[in-house]
Structure 1
Amino acid sequence: MRYLGRSATGEFLSLYTALNPIRFNPFYLGGRPLDTEKKESIKTLLLALWKKDDETFTRSEYVAISNALGAFYKSLGKGDFPCFDSFFEFCSNEFKADLERKGVKEKDFDIDNFLYVLRPYYRGGEFDYLLNARENLDLLEQRFMVFELDNIKDHPILFPVVTLIIMEIFISKMRKLKGVRKMILIEEAWKAIAKEGMAEYIKYLFKTVRKFFGEAVVVTQEVEDIISSPIIKQAIINNSDCKILLDQSKYRNKFDGIRDLLGLTEKETMQIMSINKANEPGRKYKEVFIGLGPVSKVYRTEVSPEEYLSYTTEQTEKMKVNQMAKAFGGNLEKGIAALAAEMKGDIL
Structure 2
Amino acid sequence: MNAQELIDTAKKLVASDKGLLAMDESTPTCNKRFAKVGIPQTEEMRRTYRELIITTPGLNESISGAILSDETIHQQKKDGTPFVEVIAASGIMPGIKVDAGAKDMAGHPEEKITEGLDGLRERLLEYVQLGARFAKWRAVIVIGDSIPSRGCIEANAQALARYAGLCQEAGLVPVVEPEVLMDGGHTLERCFQVTEEVLHTVFDQLYRQRVMLEGVLLKPNMVLPGLSCPKQETVDEVADATVICLLRAVPAAVPGITFLSGGQSSELASARLNAMNGSLKSRLPWALSFSFARAIQQPALDIWQGDEANVLAAQQALYHRAKCNKAARRGEYNAAMEQS
Q: Which has the higher contact order (CA 8 A, sep 6+)?
A: 2
User: Same fold judged by TM-score > 0.5?
Assistant: no
Q: TM-score, normalised by structure 1?
A: 0.34
Q: TM-score, normalised by structure 2?
A: 0.35
- Could you say which structure has the larger radius of gyration? 1
